Structure 1
């Protein structure tokens, strides 16, 4: 039962990551990081597949081993959060919702830019 829970969670995160790869404004990497984390708890084959993925594997390994985020990912994430915050200002959402989401994105951006960046040699693994 526990293994089933982790596999369902991995599947949800991978689906969200695939949607994020197609849909602008929705993140991909964070859902893959979450999928790899959940896979490490109960789906070793999927964990290995994610960590060895040709496009995302190095980023996932660097996150797991060193907690690093590539500068390009920081720029993209910050830019998308800024665009989302600007769009949010023009919606009919209540002011409290606008303020809460914009402050949340600002806190996430600050945290993100405090993460170390991988050394050049780490990316070639």
Structure 2
């Protein structure tokens, strides 16, 4: 998905009228975006989820920043794919699984007691199951193309 259609704007409620509410959404958006950027760098932290959350916050708090996220070459396609299909690109799923495996392997070295290793393994399994439940974007697009 190289380009984003112009009608890709998220259909959320209009920005709140209250200045305080807009500020809260804006702060939450920036925090979520910072976590998303960290998630891209750090294994085990779901970057895409936080970027999607930041888009939702900015849609309510700052339409200008929201549009900038939509138009950005790195964040725009993920946001559009989620809005349009509620799906994740195959490549992103593979990257997520790889990152989770690396984080799990590091955790097995870091956690000394078996209880910590078991809890960490269960956490990674839950996250992996969540990713597995998400449809693959390319499959959704192919299914849609066959319908027309």
Alpha-carbon spacing, 1:93–1:6, altered in 2? closer, same or farther (3 Å): farther
Larger radius of gyration: 2
Query: What TM-score, normalized to structure 1?
Result: 0.82
**How do 1:1-125 residues align onto structure 2 when only pairs under 5 Å count?**
1-21=20-40, 23-25=41-43, 26-92=45-111, 94-119=113-138
C-alpha contact 2:87 2:140 (8 A) present in aligned 1: no
TM-score calculated relative to the size of structure 2: 0.70
Residue 74 (structure 1) shift = 0.6
Give the Cα–Cα distance (whole angstroms) in 2 for the partners of residues 93 and 60 of structure 1: 39
Please state whether the residue corresponding to 1:14 is helix, strand or coil: helix
1:7 and 1:82, CA in 2 relative to 1: closer, same or farther beyond 3 A? same
Q: Provide the secondary structure at the position in 2 that maps to 1:40.
A: helix
Per-residue CA deviation, residues 60-111 of structure 1 (Å, 9 max, x unaligned), is 1111222110011111111111111111111145433332232122112122
Q: 5+ residue gaps in structure 2?
A: 1-19, 142-148
Structure 1 stretches of 4+ with a deviation exceeding 4 A read none
Q: Residues of 2 paired with 1:121 and 1:90: CA distance?
A: 39
Tell me how far apart the structure 1 counterparts of residues 50 and 120 of structure 2 sit (CA, whole Å). 19
Long gaps (5+) in structure 1: none
Question: Aligned Cα RMSD in Å?
Answer: 2.2
2:111–2:117 contact (8 Å) kept in structure 1: no
Instruction: Give the number of equivalent residue pairs.
Output: 121
